[in-house]
Structure 1
């Protein structure tokens, strides 16, 4: 191993680079210390935000702290969105409302808030937050985190699809084709 003086360029400074520099010479001691990731920072150095860092503030909802969770993360965690990025895209597109207001993905969600999510296919889910979670959980646990006030989904049509032919019957004749078009025209 090289001596301390050869690692710091012969300046004879303290281990770690001296003058508050961390490994590699970055100021603040490295390892996220400059980002508030030191003792009491309460954050992951990859995210750059966390309790006490002043980042992650949401208008109206306050900073995302101990008593709140980002709305995009929550709707993903309770399986109202398939992916977290889909939850964020829904917020950006105006498909998510909290207490009647459109919100950004970083909005701080609290227990008791009413969340309305318009899902693909036109169905709107209306839920009231019962418990805040940050990690995605299974469906049985997810339903315990909210009260579902959504209207029941519309009934599926129980009509047999027209034009389904048995396998191996070959190409339809002109008469068969006209009959299929007549059936399709009656549906639409």
Structure 2
């Protein structure tokens, strides 16, 4: 892949596949979700090899170090060679484990839960939404 010496941050973040479009990358920069050394940067900021950026996408936060400049968007396997993910393991694990919480849904049109249904729902939750202390006191 050809490398350039000057590259805009919005184009770089798009090329390494952190954002789906270049416009989304530029909007993230304008909104202050892309930082270098704690300071917001503009979409026109020129990326240099060795720079470290903090990128926030929704609840996901990444720390990315530039290891190479990629001019055009390529496949994910190639794009990984142009940056180093320095995100702390605790943050990535917390992000992944957030989605393992139980999701309670009822079919549409089934009406209000009966008293029996309510007890079953409470047993399934197992104090997930409440402080588990109350449940333990009731059992003793």
Taking structure 1 as the reference length, the TM-score comes to 0.54
Matches within 5 A, 1:114-133: 114-121=52-59, 123-133=60-70
- Which of 46, 49, 52 aligns to 1:111? It is 49
Whether the 8 Å CA contact 1:162–1:184 is kept in 2: the answer is no
Matches within 5 A, 1:15-34: none
> Would you say 1:176 and 2:117 are equivalent positions?
yes
| Aligned-residue RMSD, C-alpha | 2.7
C-alpha separation between the residues in 2 aligned to 1:145 and 1:103? 20
C-alpha separation between the residues in 2 aligned to 1:160 and 1:102? 34
C-alpha separation between the residues in 2 aligned to 1:159 and 1:111? 37
C-alpha separation between the residues in 1 aligned to 2:99 and 2:13? 31
Higher helix share: 2
Of 79-88 and 94-103, the range deviating more from structure 2: 94-103
CA shift at 1:187, angstroms? Answer: 1.6
Whether the 8 Å CA contact 1:111–1:130 is kept in 2: the answer is yes
Matches within 5 A, 1:1-188: 67-121=5-59, 123-152=60-89, 153=92, 154=94, 155-156=96-97, 161=102, 163=104, 173-181=114-122, 183-184=124-125, 186-188=127-129
Query: Structure 1 164/93 Cα, relative in aligned 2: closer, same or farther at 3 Å?
Result: closer
C-alpha separation between the residues in 1 aligned to 2:16 and 2:128? 38
Q: Structure 1, residues 49-88: CA drift from partner, whole Å, max 9, x if none?
A: xxxxxxxxxxxxxxxxx52111011001101112211111
Q: Unpaired segments of 5 or more residues in structure 2?
A: 130-140
CA shift at 1:177, angstroms? Answer: 2.9
C-alpha separation between the residues in 1 aligned to 2:55 and 2:33? 6
Q: Unpaired segments of 5 or more residues in structure 1?
A: 1-65
After TM superposition, the runs of 4+ consecutive aligned structure 1 residues lying more than 6 A away are none
